[in-house]
Amino acid sequence: MSRLLGLLLATALTAPASAMSLADHPPLRELVDRLVQKDGFDRASVERLLAAASYQQSIVDAISRPAEKMPWHRYRPIFLTQQRIDGGVEFWQQHAELLARAERDYGVPAAVITAIIGVETRYGAITGRYKALDALATLAVAGLSRSGFFAGELRELLLLGRDEHLDPLTLTSSYAGALGLPQFIPSSYRAYAIDFDQDGRRDLLSSPADAIGSVANYLHRHGWQPGQAISARATVTPAGAALANGDLLPRHTLETLRQGGVSVLGDDFEVQPNGPASATPLNAALIRFDGDAGDEYHLGFRNFYAITRYNHSALYALAVTQLAAAIDAQHGATP
């Protein structure tokens, strides 16, 4: 523990004014106390583990400029590429039986599961280059608005290591501490990962089967509605544009939206690839995006909202939706 604290104190003395001292953060000493007193860890072992962590300014820099801050017309081309579509079709073909079983068990279409793994890690090709311990220890003391959250995820990482017999020192992650093919943060790994290949382990690091089942389980647990639409393009009047207030929760009925000046383009919903939109009345959120030609509006239904629980970004959810549709179309056209 002393080496990490000394490093962080030294960093605080030389860091810019925006960096906060350890006294202004949820102290790592309190984290150790909680792990020992409430979680049953050995104090010396935890202190040795945290002493191996390093503060990485590059991690703070990376989380301060996430892709989700881009406008839609710049964000979309990152993920809607022919290479990523081709990779999705190949992934689907390689894991067709697993994806079919996940769709059957959880109601989440194969194309949506595939698209999420494609957006997150290019189907497992890029799962993170940082040490997970470094990432979460750094963010826990970096003076960010979510430092307390990341301190909690650092605790979850150590609990995950104990639960799944993983060595936290060897785990690599994204800059935010997300792990494996589907990029689950440690708390999500512990809560939503499943042993889909039934080998006695929940392995999101190297098992496509467990990744596929866990993505489906995650969306199911966050309210996925089988057979219902995900999103729809819309046009709005100037008055209707006020309904796009940044709220992603689908609170408005379609009739309310229409009365407010919102029209669905041709009633052509961007639906789940496995069938038409449900006849059940749908609620939606109106969401504005910065498109190539100006403001672009989409309705986000309950399934769109479920995708935003994976990553709390409308950009992310729309990229997943459109990549899923493109993968599904090409997969269906492949002999």
Angstrom distance (rounded) from CA 335 to CA 333:
6
Residue 143, pLDDT score: 82
Residue 289, pLDDT score: 97
Q: Match 């599961």 to its residue by tokens.
A: 113
Strand partners, 184: 179
156 catalytic per annotation: no
Consecutive H or E run containing 327: helix 314-333
Residue 26, pLDDT score: 56
Backbone angles phi, psi at 296, to 5 degrees: -130, 135
Consecutive H or E run containing 192: helix 186-192
DSSP 65: S
pLDDT digits (tens, 9 = 90+) for 276-333: 444 456 899 999 999 999 999 999 999 999 999 999 999 999 999 999 999 999 998 8
Long-range CB contacts for residues 276-281, cutoff 8 Å, separation at least 24: 276/227, 277/227, 277/228, 277/229, 278/225, 278/227, 278/228, 278/229, 280/228, 281/253, 281/254
pLDDT < 70 stretches in the chain: 1-27, 266-281
Residue 54, pLDDT score: 87
Which stretches does DSSP call E strand in 161-302? 172-173, 229-236, 252-253, 262-264, 270-271, 283-291, 294-300
161 touches 169 (CB < 8 A): no
Residue 333, pLDDT score: 86
- Choosing from 47, 103, 120, 156, the catalytic residue is 120
Residue 34, pLDDT score: 93
Residue 281 φ/ψ region, left for φ over 0, alpha for ψ in the -120 to 50 degree band, beta for the rest: beta
Domains annotated on the chain, with CATH = 2-64+128-163 (1.10.8.350), 229-308 (1.10.530.10)
Would you state the structure tokens that stand for residue 52, as one six-digit string?
Answer: 């191996």
Cβ neighbour number for residue 183 with a 10 Å cutoff: 26
pTM score of the predicted model: 0.89
Nearest to 230 by CA among 181, 193, 295, 274: 274
* Distances, alpha carbon 195 to alpha carbons 28, 101, 120, 331, in Å: 32, 13, 20, 27
Angstrom distance (rounded) from CA 329 to CA 62:
34
Q: Match 């309310």 to its residue by tokens.
A: 256
297 touches 233 (CB < 8 A): yes
